[in-house]
Amino acid sequence: MQTNECSLREKSIVFIGFMGVGKTTIGKLVAKKLYRSFIDIDEAIEQEYQMPVPEIFKTIGEKEFREKEKQLIQHYAGQKLKIISVGGGAFMQKEVREACMADCIVIYLDITWDVWKNERLHMLMESRPVLQGRSMEEIEDLFNKRKMIYAEHSSKVSTDHLTEEEIAEYITDSLKVSWKMNE
């Protein structure tokens, strides 16, 4: 069955979800399993500016980071057969949501607040400028606000208590089933 411009099987896959849920790690694994090329939007931005994300926030500012993020996502979302992991804040921009939802399969990696707070937060403080200088209550508030934004997706996977490999395997298997059903 053909969809608008390319078949379901050819559509690029975009991973969304909160910081640290595993978009970069799982995107890479899924790309490997499906023999597709992988683009991590944060890594692409870091390459363009030749500096890590926290330094970009500090020296160039979040506004320009978000603009570059939007441009790169619009560029890659229009391509076929890619696996794209976007940053946790990318879906805050309407144009990003529209570009991804129009052309790609958007997979929302969902984690509960308790698991995120207990198992991920400690790994992220240094590398995620958006978390720096915020109280726990403010971070929980951000988590809940972002959750509403991620409501726009094609499918959702709950990641609590699953390993990176288990999640990637589950996603790959589910995609293969849905492609087969659409043949």
Ligand X SMILES: O=C(O)C1=C[C@@H](OP(=O)(O)O)[C@@H](O)[C@H](O)C1
Give the span between the Cα atoms of 66 and 73, in whole angstroms. 10
107: part of which helix (H) or strand (E)? strand 104-110
Task: Flag whether 159 is marked binding.
Answer: no
Task: Flag whether 88 is marked binding.
Answer: yes
89's contact among Mg ion, ligand X, ligand ADP, none, with CB below 5 to 8 A by partner kind, is ligand X
Question: Which tokens is 105 given?
Answer: 């399969």
> Binding to ligand X (CB under 6 A): which residues in 134-173?
none
Q: Pick between residue 8 and residue 93 the one whose CB is nearest to ligand ADP.
A: 93
Are 85 and 108 spatial neighbours (Cβ–Cβ below 8 Å)? no
Nearest to 62 by CA among 92, 82, 40, 32: 92
129's contact among Mg ion, ligand ADP, ligand X, none, with CB below 5 to 8 A by partner kind, is ligand X
Which string of x and - marks every residue 9-48 that binds ligand X (by CB under 6 A)?
----------xx--xx-----------------x------
> Binding to Mg ion (CB under 5 A): which residues in 1-30?
23-24
> Binding to ligand X (CB under 6 A): which residues in 69-88?
87-88
3-state secondary structure 7-44: EHHHCEEEEECCCCCCHHHHHHHHHHHHCCEEEEHHHH
Locus of tokens 């030749």:
50
Q: Give the residues lining the site for ligand X (CB under 6 A).
A: 19-20, 23-24, 42, 53, 87-89, 128-130
Cite the annotated binding site by residue number. 20-25, 42, 66, 88, 128, 146
Cite the annotated binding site for ATP by residue number. 20-25, 128
